Amino acid sequence: MTFKAWLFTTAFAAMAAFSCTKDHNIEKKEIFTELDSEIGKVTDSIYIVPRPQWGTLDGEKDVRAWFPLRWDYMGSVNQGMAVYGDTAVVLCNKGWVRILNLKKEKVVQETVLASFSETNHANTAQFGRKENPSDKLPLLYVSECTSPCRCFVERYTGDGFELVQEISTDMGVIDWIADASEGFIYSYEHGGRRDSMVIRRFHLPDPSGGDVELRREDALATWRFGVTYPHTIQGGTILNGTLIMTYGTTTRPRGLHFIDLERGELKDLDLTGDLDVEPEDIDIWRGHIIMYAFAGSLFTIMKLKGYAG
């Protein structure tokens, strides 16, 4: 199926609730071309920052299960995921960890987070930077997702994890998404209405500086978007200035939100007809956006053209 045959749901556009100061003098590159669909022509393209060079999306979706995993691991269920090279760290609520070799499709280690607890939902995960050059994996940023909704920064030791930092907040944050390559961390929360969500950008705290509380006034930029089911947002990752978020459940529409963080615009890709399981978290691996699902399995979702990794 060609890229132009995709059916995108209505594209949402919103201006930043507060003015967003440009952090970079950048040349933008188009990631989506104009699309013809049954609902008409989409003319507002999403743009990404070409740093590093990911290229544009390929002409086909690639939605398929390819790595089966137990969904009820240790009596818990699948939640966050982060990818580094051919290694994926997949999490279950409470903080159970399975470390995967994606190339070999093999579980290579089972352990727990240092932040393991009954209340840690471990809802999202992203890798940051290595604390020490000799570390096998970069620091892992994990969203607690239940009150007080902290972000746990954890270091992989080889045997397990140790807690390096806790990032807390005085806001109604639900999840955190780290973009260490650009030095930012983003918070997500419901927007005070049933049909809106709020994204805030902060400087990523120095992990060697101890625990940190981020307040509303610390935000570098704030965006409010209208979405149909903000309470079903699941996980996300940053792709060159575009925040990609999974959403949906088995009883609600499922798909991806693409949020251009420079333009303050949101577009939606409906995957309800392609995906019959609840999406959890996503990341990039070998030129594909891959998804970790509630009911077991990793899925490929789409292929990136020109990916150099």
Rounded distance between C-alpha atoms, residue 232 and residue 135, angstroms = 35
Helix (H, G, I), strand (E, B) or coil at 93: helix
Q: Can you state the percent helix, strand and coil of the chain, rounding each to 5?
A: 5, 50, 45
pLDDT of residue 171: 84
Judge whether 144 and 151 are in contact, CB under 8 Å: yes
Strand partners, 64: 300
b/e map 228-237, b = 16+ CB within 10 Å: eebebbbbbb
Rounded distance between C-alpha atoms, residue 210 and residue 166, angstroms = 8
- Give Rg (Cα) of the chain: 18
Rounded distance between C-alpha atoms, residue 90 and residue 79, angstroms = 7
Compute the C-alpha angle 160/164/165, nearest 5°.
135
pLDDT of residue 196: 74
pLDDT of residue 82: 95
pLDDT of residue 24: 28
pLDDT of residue 193: 59
Q: Torsion angle, CA of 260/126/272/248, rounded to 10 degrees?
A: -100
With a CB cutoff of 8 Å and minimum separation 6, the contacts of 139 are 127, 128, 129, 130, 131, 153, 154, 155, 164, 180, 207
pLDDT of residue 85: 93
DSSP string, 181-215: TTTEEEEEEE-SSTTEEEEEEEEPPPGGG--EEE-
pLDDT of residue 239: 83
The mean pLDDT values, 10 residues at a time, for the chain of 309 residues are 34 32 30 26 28 36 80 81 94 92 93 93 92 93 90 96 95 88 90 73 95 95 77 81 85 84 82 85 89 84 66
pLDDT of residue 43: 25
CATH 2.115.10 fits 6-304, yes or no: yes
pLDDT of residue 32: 32
